[in-house]
Chain A
Amino acid sequence: MSPRVTYRDAMREALREALQRDPRVFLMGEDVGMYGGSYAVSKGLLAEFGPERIRDTPLSELGFVGAGIGAALGGMRPIVEIMTVNFSLLALDQLVNTAASLRHMSGGQFHVPLVVRMATGAGRQLAAQHSHSLEGWYAHVPGLRVLAPATVEDARDMLWPALQEEDPVIIFEHALLYNVEGPLEPGAGADIRHARIRRPGRDLTVVTFGGMLNPVLGATEELARAGIEAEVIDLRVLRPLDDATICASVRRTHRVLIVDEEWRSGSLAAEISARIMEQAFFELDAPVQRLCGAEVPVPYARHLEEAALPRTPAIVEAARRLVGVAGAAP
């Protein structure tokens, strides 16, 4: 029986292992040291590894991400934690204009082996400046690899391969996942190239990632009771997208629902839908459907926040509609 641990503990375990294995690895960010991280991911690491390797930074995303880039160029393997994706916008210049571009602009002479971790997503009543899902913005940028671990295992296993990349990797950790428990087998190392099928099914494919995986899996239980077998694809890697896994599933089920907490316009859901049109149009038995976050700044009030997010009942309803009258057993 494998032990059950939280996503937070798994992530801390991954950090600890990386710090132990490679002396070039260090962690820096706001409150990662003394405070133990705003989501308590790095709790205890300062005592274990000391202030040289667990570094608190000033409140300046632009500054400390830039410092991370410099360290990476200088031969280190920095892990930079940004408190939320909203705050990462302050560091967009460093991430897009520098980290993602330097290899290209130097004709391949300079690589930036930087890992940036950040929390994303809503559901904790942290309002519009701490709750957005902007994964798609980063997935838009050539030169970045973008990961979204959605399970406890991926939380532990994706960090180390990310640190082995020669180019910058962004890891999105959905804030609602930190307390989720799951089984954890001894680390085998995860690939950071492919999507995974979390549940096989024949009637439709639900493509999702990150914080939406658990609501989707909950919905599939309910759908199964109604006789609808949904296949669930956890993207895991948001850039580059694993088109092959998605399209192979479409060839089996012929129907696709994309569940994405981001705003619908210009979202990853939009990109995936377009790729399915391009690569698997003639496999489709119904229009691709998207279920996304409401296009509002995420509200503070709990009921409004909940109403703005894709939740299990809405997923069930969207899947039923997609399968159609004939497919949905009453």
Chain B
Amino acid sequence: MDERQLRSDLIGLLQRVAPEVDPGELDAAEPLRRQVDLDSIDFLNFLISINRQFKVSIPESDYEKLRSLDDIVSYLLKAMPAPSGGSGKASTSAV
């Protein structure tokens, strides 16, 4: 999976929860929830949308590892099947 594509998809999902998010202003290394004012339900909804789009299940015990956008990107790159597999929303949408 192309990392740049993944980042842009994630920002798209984030904007569904927090429409005013400006990708240019977002610091990918900083904790997300404080930066864009996500409460626990917003954050849960964001994770649910990630789960739906990338078919990656995220156990609750991993929530703490997903603090910044960078954290989420690397978590997903590890968790997702290799691009050659051709499965997953990301590859289909690249066609």
Q: Do chains A and B touch in the complex (CB under 8 A)?
A: no
Q: What residues make up the interface of A, taking CB atoms closer than 8 Å to B? A: none
Q: What residues make up the interface of B, taking CB atoms closer than 8 Å to A? A: none
